[in-house]
Amino acid sequence: MGRILPEGAVERVSFFEQHAGVFAERALVIGTTPAAVALLAERTLAAREAYNAQQVAFERARGATRAFQNAVALMTVAGSDIIKQVKARAATDGSAIYGLALLPVPATPAPLPPPGTPTGFTIALSQVGALTLRWRCANPRGSGGTIYQVSRQVGASGAFDVIGASGIRRFVDDTLPSGAASVTYEIVAMRSTRRGSAGRFTVNFGVGHVPVAAPGRLAA
């Protein structure tokens, strides 16, 4: 049985969808019964409907996750602007301003360096055509709250458009334009009011090939 049935769940659904009609027409000849074939048809239909429902739920969850990440990134930018303004007022009117804003008085040591530069990019192509981007980023010791802004350039030239942000070193791009030969991503680490240097990498697409990051295209 294992040599006949496909390994994947979706592939098995397709397999039985393709064979249900033949089984029904030749039930007695091939050694089964109309009742057994009817049961298979019923359960195959249920499996297809369950798969379709799963895909709808998956798309909704992915959209909700992306919306949450973008909302947090925008909130961080807005809040950082206010904190920067509070710091500017405290520099002239004294540290009591921090207490009025319910903010801690900054410690006296030297400020942390800016966030690091994203490197070590990897990609994975999903069944629905989305690219999952992953990277490394050596941020200063003791730093936290880093947000990664992701921009994309389609083709070999043109502007970089911001397509989202992530609070982790991973981002799913499910808005790839159809027919693009290559895309270049630019990822910038941001913390409070500081920005790191951008990391860039290019993904080349080829017919019948898994997209790969072009070597030697990483740039700070």
CA–CA separation, 162 vs 176, rounded Å?
A: 13
At 214, is the pLDDT very low, low, confident or very high (cuts 50, 70, 90)?
very low
Q: Residue 84's Cα: distance from chain center in Å? A: 30
Looking at every residue in the chain, the average pLDDT score rounds to 88
Residue 40 is encoded by which pair of tokens? 């298979």
Q: What is the pLDDT of residues 115-146, one digit of tens each?
A: 999 999 999 988 878 899 999 999 988 888 89
List the alpha helices (DSSP H) in the chain.
9-25, 34-93, 96-100
Per CATH, which fold does 119-213 belong to?
A: Immunoglobulin-like (2.60.40)
Q: pTM here?
A: 0.48
Q: Do the Cβ atoms of 191 and 77 come closer than 8 Å? A: no
CA 8, 12, 13, 14 torsion-angle sign: positive
Sketch the domain layout of the chain as residue ranges.
Answer: 9-59, 119-213
Question: What local confidence, expressed as pLDDT, does residue 185 receive?
Answer: 95
